[in-house]
Amino acid sequence: MINRRIQLVVFGVAYLAFLGNANAKSLVIGRVSPDPSQTYQQLKPMVDYVASRLADLGYTDGQVLMAKNHDEMLGYLREGKVDWVQKGVFEALIYNRAIGAEIALRSWRQGVPSYHTVIFARKDKQLASLKDLVGKKIAFEDPGSTSAFFVPAAILKRANFQLLELSSPREKSPAGSIGYVFAGDELSITTWVHRGLVDAGAFHNQNWTNPKDNPEAMRKDLTVIYEGKPMPRMIELLRATLEPNVKARIKEILLRAHEDPAATNALEAYGPRTAKFDEFVGQAKKELDEAMDLKRFFGRNP
């Protein structure tokens, strides 16, 4: 019988059928995803690349396991069904606190190691600082966005402003509070601010300079009123109960991946132009510390 594996990935579940070696040891990467097909294409080359370099530790291949939500993924990690996940910094801190997932490495996305939140408004609104947002409305992306919800909301909470979610951008913000709504994507945030549906918007600095998210026809009428401190672009997390020697080897492989021509395709597929991975020392550690300070203004679920 030919030794092979059939793997089918569907929303929230990975069905694995084995033919041949029933004792195969696989490295499993996980992600919460509404689009299993696209996610599989992003993750499979990277997990295969790393698994192929763990053969001496008993690993034969890589697998992808997707979850419907964070609670399900936390369960997979707790049960040992997933070994490795990539998260935005606030979600990484939640996973670390909830189940002890190890914050292992920083990921460079779109060619950079970090990014920062910008809060912006129309120039003719004459908003110059965060305090000018009281009684106004701000648009965030969605409840899961790090730079376009978690961070700007935490910045406002840390400054002792009261935030209140509104049912729509047309709802009036109560006096003394900053009302917020979710626009769904970055271009909608820009559009809502430009059209005056909301008074301000928030996303990260790369969105601000990206014409797909912030077209020049609108950006010329907008101005940044606040810039946050740098945050890690993305974070690689490893299961708490994964063997220490396996954790160390995975980190070693990822730290050297940008120097390995064989990793080029895996890096390109893994995320928007993943350039490399590095450790949380120096500036990276300062960025993580800033995120930890902001995270305390949210509970387990931001």
Q: At what angle do helices 283-295 and 151-158 cross, to 10 degrees?
A: 70
Here the tokens at position 194 are: 């430009």
Confidence class for position 73, pLDDT limits 50, 70, 90: very high
* Residue found by looking up tokens 């707790």 in the block: 78
Q: What is the pTM of this model?
A: 0.82
Residue 76 above 50 pLDDT? Answer: yes
pLDDT tens by residue, 213-264: 999 999 999 999 999 999 998 999 999 999 999 999 999 999 999 999 999 9
**From residue 220, how far is each of 75, 180, 206, 223, 225 by CA, in Å?**
47, 24, 16, 8, 14
117-228 classified as CATH 3.40.190.10: yes
Task: Assign domain 4-112+232-295 to its CATH architecture.
Answer: 3-Layer(aba) Sandwich (3.40)
Confidence class for position 299, pLDDT limits 50, 70, 90: low
Q: Contact 119/190 with Cβ under 8 angstroms?
A: no
pLDDT tens by residue, 46-57: 999 999 999 999
CA pair distance 264, 45, nearest whole angstrom: 10
For the chain, the domains span: 4-112+232-295, 117-228
- pLDDT score at 19: 36
4-112+232-295 and 117-228 share one fold: yes
Q: Contact 101/65 with Cβ under 8 angstroms?
A: no
Helix ranges restricted to H, 240-300 = 244-256, 264-270, 283-295
